[in-house]
Amino acid sequence: MAVLSPDKKEKLVLGLYEREIIKFGEFTLKSGRKSPIYYNQRPLLSVDHNLGMVPSRQRELASLAVEGYADKVSTLERIGDTQLYGIPQAATAIGALVAREVGASYLWGRVGKKDYGKHEAIEGNFLPDSSVVQIDDVVTNADSKIDSAANLAEAGLETAGFLVMLDRQEGGKGVLARAGHNMDSVLTMSDVALILNTNGIIGEQELDALGGYHQGLRAEGAESTYLYAG
Q: How far apart are CA 128 and CA 156, in angstroms?
A: 5
49-107 pLDDT, tens per residue? 999 999 999 999 999 999 999 999 877 655 556 799 999 989 999 999 999 999 899 99
- Sites in the chain below the pLDDT cut of 70: 1-2, 76-81, 112-119
pTM for this entry: 0.93
Q: What is the pLDDT of residue 121?
A: 83
What is the average pLDDT value for the chain, to the nearest integer?
Answer: 92
Virtual torsion, Cα 187, 72, 62, 150, nearest 10 deg: -90
Give the phi and the psi of residue 68 in degrees, each rounded to 5.
Answer: -60, -45
Q: What is the pLDDT at residue 119?
A: 60
Ordered by start, the domain boundaries in the chain are: 6-219
**CATH architecture, domain defined by 6-219:** 3-Layer(aba) Sandwich (3.40)
pLDDT for 229 equals 84
pLDDT of residue 191: 97
